[in-house]
Structure 1
Amino acid sequence: MGIHWFILSAAAVIIIQGWVFRRFGLKRLAYARTFSVSRCFEGDRIEMIERLTNRKALPVPWLRVESMLHTGLKFENVFNFDVSNGQFYQNHKSLFSLLGFKQLTRRHAVQCVQRGCYRLTGASLTYGDLFGLFRSWETVPLQEELIVYPQPADRSQLQLPSRSWQGDITVRRWIVEDPFYVTGVRNYQAGDSLKSINWNATARAGKLQVHRRDFTADFRIIVLLNVEDHAGMWQVVNNTELIEQGIRLAAGFVQFAAEQGLETGFASNGHDLDTPGVPVITTMSSGSDHMLYLFERMAKLVISSATPFDLLLAQLADQLDDSCDIVIVSAFMNEKMELAVDRLRSDGHGVEWMPLSARAGDAA
């Protein structure tokens, strides 16, 4: 008779504890996942931080957290963490056990092996009782974003155009006089503004003298990236690594231009992650903040053609009012693109082509 009571009591305990853990196990339980930084460069090592907080007396016998991330984030020194890698995405699982009114924080080393925008939108929590007989689950929403900038190409890989890329230097060509560049004085000529008169020099010379101003290079650069890896391509890119190399080259040009104080823009027939079907065209500006803004647009660039590249060139020809230097990073140059380039040059823009085909081996 005693053994039956023991079996019934054990069964009752198992059922009751299962009901308790199922009913209250996920109550006052908080899970959060963040990155140690919000912005970094391709190749950098950062941390992904998991934090589990139990705000009740009932312990957490076991809790499994599952989520998906892109393979562009490579986890290192995995401990209490299981990663199943696919071609583009990886499924990772974390296993927790926590007493009541405790908090557990785990830090995972991550290498950012590919530029991109990585978003954590949710995680699946699976919770069980002491004996593993009962379990319940729920999805926890997450709002975390990591921007991985492309690593700018080494300066030795850049073929610098001959016009504006030399920065703040004087050149003698058709550009208007720069009011900030005073190189001396000269005799007054008909048509000179009275504001340009140098009165001290006039007093010394006994006749009207005006400031002599020099000419400066125009500080406008736009880098164009063609995401088409071969002529006749439509949307589907075969050699994505070749285009990734092109993105690094474009970032290298933007970085160099920013260091020289030049106004810089970026455009591509690829589209932004958040605006499918619309080519990327940025405004022109200068400074380190604008450089990082362009890097972020490159990080979010999807390698898929939103429009043929020759149409993008024609669109820019209609929009560009002032002359600027244009660098085209492309794997090829066809007849339609050459016609668009000829139009840009006839409008007074300097155009340089940076071919990608010769650098395919470097990207491999």
Structure 2
Amino acid sequence: MGIHWFILSAVAVLIIQWQLFKRLGMKKVHYSRNFNTTHCFEGDRIEMVEKLANHSMLPLPWLRVESQLHTGLRFDSEFNFDVSQGQFYQNHKSLFSLMGYKQLTRRHTVQCVQRGCYRLTSASLTSGDLFGLHKAWMNVPLQEQLIVYPKPVDRSEIHLPSNSWQGDISVKRWIVEDPFYITGVRDYQQGDPLKAINWNATARAGKLQVHQRDYTADYRLMVVLNVEDHAGMWDTVNDTETIEQGIRYAAGIIQYASEQGLEVGFAANGHDLDVPGRPVHVGTGSGHEHFMATLEQMSRLVIARAVPFDTLLEQMAEELDARCDLLVVSAFMSDKINAVMERIRSEGHGAHWMPIDAAKGAA
């Protein structure tokens, strides 16, 4: 009789614990995951923090947390968790065991090896009873976002064109003609825009006369990035690392220009993460806040062509009014791109090409 009672008691315990875990197992389990910062630079190390709380007297013999993360976030170690890595995404698994009315916090050191906008949207939790008779699954929504800024190349790696603004710097400011300060008229010179012609003075003098403008330190620069990696490209960018280096190079130029007090903007024929099909455009501005906002937009840039680069330049040429220089950061130069740049120059603006190859190895 003793063995029978033992078997019956064991079966009863199995059934009772199975029912308990089935009804109560994950009802009072709370899980959260977040980064210890919301913004950082490419190459920085940050922490990803996991918190698990069991608000029930029922213990958790085991609980597995699974989620997908981008490979741009690299874990320094794999203690208490497992990472299965693919080309673009990695599957992250954490294992927990927790007694009743206890909570646990784990901190993982993560290196941000690539700029981008990383979002934690959900994690799946799987738990079970002591004997593997029951498994419960739950999806936990997450709303965490990490902005990883591109790392600007060092100032020593920036080689501006010899015929550009660096020869006009005075007390760390660009000195150029200001369209609002008119002091008289002068004879027309090759390269003067048609809109600068003073027709009344031309009629009096019998030859073309243009407005004579005074000089000021106010000036604008637009850095324009081409996400196409070769001429004749269709939709797919093959050499993404070259374009990533171009982004770092553009960031370095914008940082340098901002430090000199120059109004600077950014545009690219790639698109924003949340706005597919529309080229990225950040208007000119100055100051630290504008610089950081530009870096954030560069973090959100998707390396996929929204419009051909020459089309983007044509659109920008139509919108240029006051004096502005365009610095084209591109892996190549084509006849179409060069033609638009010549048009921009003929209208009194500057247009210069910076090959991305010049920045390789700078980061």
TM-score normalised according to structure 1 size:
0.86
C-alpha contact 1:241 1:363 (8 A) present in aligned 2: no
**3-state SS of 1:104 partner:** strand
Q: 1:166 aligns with which of 156, 169, 172?
A: 169
Indicate yes or no: 2:299 matched with 1:294.
Answer: no
What letter corresponds to residue 349 of structure 1 in structure 2?
A: H
Counterparts of 1:169 and 1:38, CA distance in 2: 33
Counterparts of 2:328 and 2:17, CA distance in 1: 67
Q: 1:313 Cα shift?
A: 0.1
- Residues 156-211 of structure 1 show CA distances to partners (whole Å, capped at 9, x for unaligned) of 22123522783754747575549xxxxxxxxxxxxxxxxxxxxxxxxxxxxxxxxx
Q: Return 5+ residue gaps in structure 2 as ranges.
A: 183-212
CA RMSD of aligned residues (A): 2.1
C-alpha contact 2:169 2:175 (8 A) present in aligned 1: no
C-alpha contact 1:166 1:260 (8 A) present in aligned 2: no
Counterparts of 2:359 and 2:300, CA distance in 1: 23
Counterparts of 1:108 and 1:174, CA distance in 2: 54
Counterparts of 1:38 and 1:18, CA distance in 2: 42
**3-state SS of 2:351 partner:** strand
Counterparts of 1:2 and 1:177, CA distance in 2: 107
C-alpha contact 1:218 1:324 (8 A) present in aligned 2: no
Aligned 1:203-222 pairs, distance under 5 A: 215-222=215-222
Q: Which moved more, 1:147-156 or 1:166-175?
A: 166-175
Counterparts of 1:90 and 1:253, CA distance in 2: 33
Counterparts of 2:9 and 2:130, CA distance in 1: 16
1:225–1:59 Cα change, 3 Å = same
Q: 1:4 Cα shift?
A: 2.4
**3-state SS of 1:321 partner:** coil
**3-state SS of 2:285 partner:** coil
**3-state SS of 2:120 partner:** strand
Q: 1:359 Cα shift?
A: 4.5
1:123 alignment partner in structure 2:
123
1:55 alignment partner in structure 2:
55
Counterparts of 2:332 and 2:76, CA distance in 1: 38
2:317 alignment partner in structure 1:
317
What letter corresponds to residue 355 of structure 1 in structure 2?
A: P
Counterparts of 1:298 and 1:349, CA distance in 2: 25
**3-state SS of 1:258 partner:** helix
Aligned 1:264-279 pairs, distance under 5 A: 264-279=264-279
- Residues 30-79 of structure 1 show CA distances to partners (whole Å, capped at 9, x for unaligned) of 10000010000000000000001111222211110000000000001221
Aligned 1:144-155 pairs, distance under 5 A: 144-155=144-155
Q: 1:235 Cα shift?
A: 1.6
Q: 1:110 Cα shift?
A: 0.3
Q: 1:216 Cα shift?
A: 2.0
Q: Which moved more, 1:299-308 or 1:168-177?
A: 168-177
Q: 1:215 Cα shift?
A: 2.1
Q: Which moved more, 1:240-249 or 1:19-28?
A: 19-28
C-alpha contact 2:154 2:362 (8 A) present in aligned 1: no
Q: Which moved more, 1:17-26 or 1:43-52?
A: 17-26
1:234 alignment partner in structure 2:
234
**3-state SS of 1:235 partner:** coil
TM-score normalised according to structure 2 size:
0.86
Counterparts of 1:338 and 1:349, CA distance in 2: 14
Aligned 1:1-364 pairs, distance under 5 A: 1-161=1-161, 162-163=164-165, 166=169, 168-169=172-173, 171=175, 177=181, 215-360=215-360, 362=361
- Residues 267-292 of structure 1 show CA distances to partners (whole Å, capped at 9, x for unaligned) of 00000100111110112111111111
Q: Which moved more, 1:247-256 or 1:20-29?
A: 20-29
**3-state SS of 2:323 partner:** coil
1:10–1:267 Cα change, 3 Å = same
The alignment-based identity, stated in percent, is 62
1:187 alignment partner in structure 2:
none
Counterparts of 1:80 and 1:172, CA distance in 2: 61
Q: Return 5+ residue gaps in structure 1 as ranges.
A: 179-212
